[in-house]
Amino acid sequence: MKKGLFYAILASILWAIVNPFIKQGLSYDFTPMNFAGIRFTTVGIILFAYTWHKGMWREIRQHSKLFLNLILINMFMGYTAFYFGVDFVSGAISSIIMGMTPLINVLLAHLLASNDKLNTHKIISLIVSLIGLFLIIGMGSNGAPLDWKGITGIVLLLLSIIFQGYSAISVSEDKGKVNPIFLNAVQMFFGGLLIYMVGLGTEGYHSFIGKPGGFYASLAILVFISVFAFSFWFIALQSKGAKVSDINMCRLINPILGAVLSWIMLPDEYPTFSTVAGMVVIVSSLIIYFKGTEISEWFKKTKAGA
| Residue 53 backbone zone (phi > 0: left; psi -120 to 50: alpha; other: beta) | beta
The pLDDT of residue 306 is above 60: no
- Model pLDDT for residues 66-124, shown as the tens digit of each residue: 888 888 888 888 888 888 888 787 766 776 777 677 777 777 777 766 665 666 767 77
For residue 118, which phi and psi values (nearest 5 degrees)? -70, 150
**What residue type is 124 in one-letter code?**
I
Residue ranges of domains in the chain:
8-26+91-141+244-305
Cβ atoms of residues 96 and 278 within 8 Å: yes
pLDDT at 4: 74
pLDDT at 42: 93
Let me know how long the chain is. 306
pLDDT at 219: 92
- Average pLDDT over every residue of 139-159: 72
The pLDDT of residue 247 is above 80: no
**What residue type is 193 in one-letter code?**
L
- Model pLDDT for residues 250-273, shown as the tens digit of each residue: 776 766 776 777 777 767 767 777
pLDDT at 197: 92
- Model pLDDT for residues 154-203, shown as the tens digit of each residue: 889 888 888 888 877 777 666 567 788 888 899 899 999 999 998 888 88
